Structure 1
């Protein structure tokens, strides 16, 4: 099948709003590369008179963003206005708009859009440039056949995607269940039966307290205020024999946050300034795609909030409970007032304590005492959080169990992601095959003639 330029199959539209009755009451629409045509509150002007009408079957695109797939086809029953900066057009009767839309969103279509776009710093595709794009366009009856096949396959793909989404939901629940069963001792029940004589957690707590007392005596840390006793009503589940309930302050060396005055220390280079945006949900990996730097002050504020390897960071305003752990070799870094820094005692700087703080039980505690419109979780709340404490040796076993089970979850998630990619590629393959088949069908008809 030969390639045809789009100029024979499309025509530009430009119906201004001022020519329409009651245009001020019409909905304003926008275009994105994710959802296509959508209602938007974003208006470039309060005066809508120069906006353009779009209705069912029309195309609209931003000339400067069509290269990333930002084009929309107006669905049935939709009518509204778009910015005058948009290009609006429609297909003629010889080309089904659905097929053109699929083509322009495909890899081949995006390649041609990039080919015909103009500009140096910021490229744009004007309507005349769009008309130069070439596409294989079969007769209208074959187009309808292609569309029916595409819609049939789309139903199957949508069902497949729904199942994949369901699998992702179940996998997320499984990850949370693994963490919850870990901190309740359920993952290591068999291990405890095989190792009945391990040192109980009560002795670990006593040893940590003695170490903290020495640090206070050496004036390396301040003496903490007495913690409220843990009553039976606070305990949400029973612990295995040898475990103990304690509060975070019982096993912490330092709990603090930054001050509000760090803005004056911002710089283009220097020490890393970790903010809430660098923390993760359901994980303790730092997201460092965006990094801010500071020239730290040479005072107590600088030394107090300077981060160390193994420090656990917790967001305490807004989206409370996002986490991050300072890795080895991270370099000089600091935090602001929206982030809590939790530094465990040396004997407690282990993986188990990190897993506790991202478990469903920890999330429940993050959410329980939040205050104010923006939500807040005070440093005192962090220190008073409950922690189920296993014997020291069992902590290592729990961490290994969680690591192994999490790796299995990672493998399942990778398979789901691959299947999602394959689902997206399937539709493109169906369209390519359909056009190729239609080309072959036309050629055979010409031979028979």
Structure 2
């Protein structure tokens, strides 16, 4: 839905400190000091990921890059240059200066062209986000929120003298220089921690993580004996035939380890492909979109299905608490999450269930291995679809697995858990520091817009 409350009423009734102004200043409608250019509805059939001109969509605001290109003719009026101020007109109403390459302005994104003889462009960059947030908070919607160019033009901005705007910008940038530098350093930490976690998993599945442990425990049972015991369990199921690995060139493993296919230690199943209907307050229905980056599942926004749909899906199989849910279709392909405990649920056909056999059932080693780049690279290599990525069950069966002895699996899982706990603690510290930077930024901007930073200059 669109805005139903007048913009002026939102501003006048707001208690947001970013919307307050010095009593000596007047306000001016944005449309008086700038032009609002709406994006164009370019034909989606001409979109692609490499050929043509970069195309800016709502998702690209703030990213300074786009992975979408438009391979067709266009009007030069919709060309965006580095430094242009953009606003997203759906969703969160984000605002950002474009710092990517020359690109096209797609629909539901607008460009704000400031008359620099009337208003300081940088001052507008600092001021506008607070007003857009206030409008967003007052826009009711059951689906996606929408913002019109008319509403943007009606935003009543603080209008101090142009020379004072320039002084405010200089003062804000001086005060925030250290904050922005800290924020920039903090923004690099998540990628560092992501690489750290993958390095831990790489060491885990190569034997490097437990090299010292093996020397201290030389008499543990070798992994190939475990595989032989599981073979008798496999024969109880109608499982697809396992491809041989005898002719493959594989790297050396510790002596007590062995190379196998995933199907040697687990069965892989997918649910009925008929999409169930949604049902308010029904049974949880998990899909890849519910997978969080911290290897958890977000249960707060899952789709719900009726008891009847659950029973229909359950005719094929019912997911169990010790199952591994594996994304095999779509952009999130190749991610593993543990099945929820103590709740009733079913899964989308975009997921497969990997159910470990026998003694493997209580080991989390395979779960972590599936999330490593060693397995994810195998998944990406076997994607069959040109459009939506699609990984078949046999492809998952055929994943090549470095299997340690069961006792070593438990030790690997323990060490991975400890190292990931440390990484999680660092993530929490970074999040807290980022929030402090944001609070400090908001405090500085609030003072700036009330004229307090330049009052005595």
TM-score by structure 1 length?
A: 0.72
Q: Which runs of 5+ in 2 are unaligned?
A: 1-21, 39-53
Q: After superposition, give the CA deviation of every residue in 1:151-177 in whole Å (9 maximum; x if it has no partner).
A: 455665554444334332222111001
1:56-205 to 2 correspondences below 5 Å: 68-70=92-94, 93=117, 95-106=119-130, 109=131, 133=156, 135=158, 137=160, 139-152=161-174, 156-157=178-179, 159-205=181-227
CA–CA distance in structure 2, aligned partners of residues 244 and 426 of structure 1? 55
Residues 305, 334 of structure 1: 8 Å contact kept: no
Matched, 1:2 2:2: no
Greater C-alpha Rg? 1
Alpha-carbon spacing, 1:78–1:427, altered in 2? closer, same or farther (3 Å):
farther
2:326 pairs with 1:314 = yes
Distance 1:144 1:256, change over 3 A: same
Aligned with 2:352: secondary structure?
Answer: strand
- Name the structure 2 match of 1:268: 279
From 220, 233, 255, the counterpart of 2:268: 255
Aligned position for 1:446: none
Take 1:79 and 1:222, find their aligned partners in 2: how far apart are those partners?
54
Q: 2:246 aligns with which of 227, 231, 234?
A: 231
1:383 counterpart = 2:393: no
- 8 A Cα contact 1:317 1:376, kept in partner: yes
1 CA distance for matches of 2:431 and 2:255? 41
Whether contact under 8 Å (1:312, 1:323) holds in the other structure is yes
- Say whether the 8 Å CA contact 1:316–1:340 is kept in structure 2: yes
List gaps (5 residues or longer) in structure 1. 18-26, 442-449
Alignment partners' CA distance in 2, 1:28 and 1:223:
47
Q: Secondary structure at the match of 1:324?
A: strand
Q: Distance in 1 between matches of 2:65 and 2:223?
A: 57
Quickly say closer, same or farther: Cα 1:71–1:210, change in 2 above 3 A. Answer: closer
Alignment of 1:437 onto 2:453: yes
Q: 1:187 to 1:147 in 2, by over 3 A?
A: same
Count of matched residue positions in the alignment of Structure 1 and Structure 2 = 411
Residues 202-221 of structure 1 mapped to structure 2, 5 A cutoff: 202-213=224-235, 216=236, 221=237
The match for 1:11 is 32
Which of residues 413, 416, 430 in structure 2 aligns to 1:399? 413
Q: CA–CA distance in 2 between the matches of 1:4 and 1:36?
A: 34
Measured on the aligned residues, the alpha-carbon RMSD in Å equals 4.8
Task: Assess, with a 3 A threshold, how the Cα gap between structure 1 residues 148 and 33 changes in structure 2: closer, same or farther.
Answer: farther
Instruction: Give, in angstroms, the shift of residue 415 of structure 1.
Output: 2.4
Deviates more, 1:307-316 or 1:121-130: 121-130
Q: Deviations over 1:264-321 (max 9, x none)?
A: x42415443333333456735356523142533767x633232111211222233331
Helix, strand or coil at the partner of 1:258? coil
Cα distance change, pair 7–410 in 1 and its aligned pair in 2 (3 A): same
- Single out whichever of 242-251 and 152-161 deviates more from structure 2: 152-161
Aligned equivalents of 1:292, 1:418: Cα separation in 2: 33
Structure 1 residues 422 and 179 mapped into 2: Cα distance closer, same or farther (>3 Å)? same
